[in-house]
Amino acid sequence: MEGLEWVHRAPQRVRSLALVASIGVQEAEGSGSYVFEHVKYAANGLLALGVVELLPHFGLLGSRAERLGYVRNFWESDQRPLRGLLSALDTPLLLAHGRDDFLVPLWCAEESHGLAPQSRLVIFEAGHFLPLPHPAGQLDLLWPELESFLSRHDARGVPEPRARVEPLTPERRARPEPFRLPRLVPWWVSLALCGGLAAALGAWSGFILGSAVALLQLDAGLALIAASVGLCLPALGARRGHPSSNVLLSLWAGWWRGALRLLGAFLAAAAFTGAAGEALCRAAGSGAGVALALALPPAAALALARLFRLARGRSG
């Protein structure tokens, strides 16, 4: 949040500040934990700069310099605690946000609006790419709001009364609010639950985790890291007392097969829920729709597995 930092360091040089689809409070960044987010970024760097170098990708994954830039973009744009800066902000602030933002949830902008004394929150019926032209964004509606706000504060010292502006008849949200879970549950609880689920169900947990990620109720990095650790726990318990070299080799072999199956289930469930989850939520309501969206992928997989076994039995 370079804009907030700039106002904090040199308030006399800034007359107003506009944040469009921006993160304000740190809790909206993935897991909500500064430390764990950097664990994710470090794992991301290991994959992009280490593992990829060992794979023959023929340039399809970009050059090393491009991948380094990608990794540094996440590492250096980390979210630090900004509540104090927002609360102490004496500069007029415009918060323009899309109701259906899938990267920065609306509650983040609402939280920033509640903290900043002179803030105007304008909610658009749009997603994260609000500043782009139609149909991807709503630049045609955003630009007049920006122009009016900036013109109003051409002169220093003009106050901005706190206000919330949204369509007179906003669309009713049947689906759950994106990334509400990190605000309600500490990141380490989510981590433990995901790891325990993977330890108990193995690759089947991928169906549940993939659905939760597709519904924007769970951070993808947190889910995959926790599941990777959880897959190791049963294998460690089963091989206790064996020579360490055998344990490591068998653990690696078992983890690799389990991880591939879990990742496949994760991606399949995410694709299914991404296509059908919103329709289910709109048809059955938010709570029931989420339950259906979480239950259908593993149920469908179980049914397909059962049909496959029956077909093999008849052919045999």
Cα–Cα distance list, 165 to 121, 171, 247 (Å): 6, 14, 60
Please state, in angstroms and rounded to a whole number, the distance separating the CA atoms of residues 93 and 15: 10
pTM for this model (two decimals): 0.76
Please state, in angstroms and rounded to a whole number, the distance separating the CA atoms of residues 191 and 182: 11
Please list, in sequence order, all residues whose beta carbon lies within 8 angstroms of the beta carbon of residue 269, skipping any fewer than 6 positions away.
Answer: 206, 207, 208, 209, 210, 211, 214, 297, 298
The token duo for 26 is: 């740190």
DSSP 173: -
Per-residue model confidence as pLDDT tens digits over 184-237: 788 899 999 999 999 998 888 998 899 888 888 888 889 999 999 898 887 666
How confident is the model at residue 246, as a pLDDT?
A: 61
DSSP-based three-state secondary structure for 92: coil
Domain boundaries, the chain: 2-28+79-165, 34-76, 181-315
AA letter at 12: Q
Q: What's the rounded mean pLDDT across residues 172-178? A: 63
User: What CATH number belongs to 2-28+79-165?
Assistant: 3.40.50.1820
* Chain center to CA of 189: 17
Radius of gyration of the chain (CA): 23
How confident is the model at residue 152, as a pLDDT?
A: 93
Please state, in angstroms and rounded to a whole number, the distance separating the CA atoms of residues 203 and 214: 17
Closest CA to 202 of 257, 246, 249, 248: 257
Phi-psi region of 271 (alpha: psi -120 to 50; beta: other; left: phi over 0): alpha
Phi, psi torsion values for 95, nearest 5 degrees: -115, 110
Please state, in angstroms and rounded to a whole number, the distance separating the CA atoms of residues 237 and 216: 33
Per-residue model confidence as pLDDT tens digits over 236-255: 665 555 555 565 666 666 67
Please state, in angstroms and rounded to a whole number, the distance separating the CA atoms of residues 270 and 248: 31
Q: What is the DSSP string of 59-79?
A: TTT--HHHHHHHHHHHHHT--
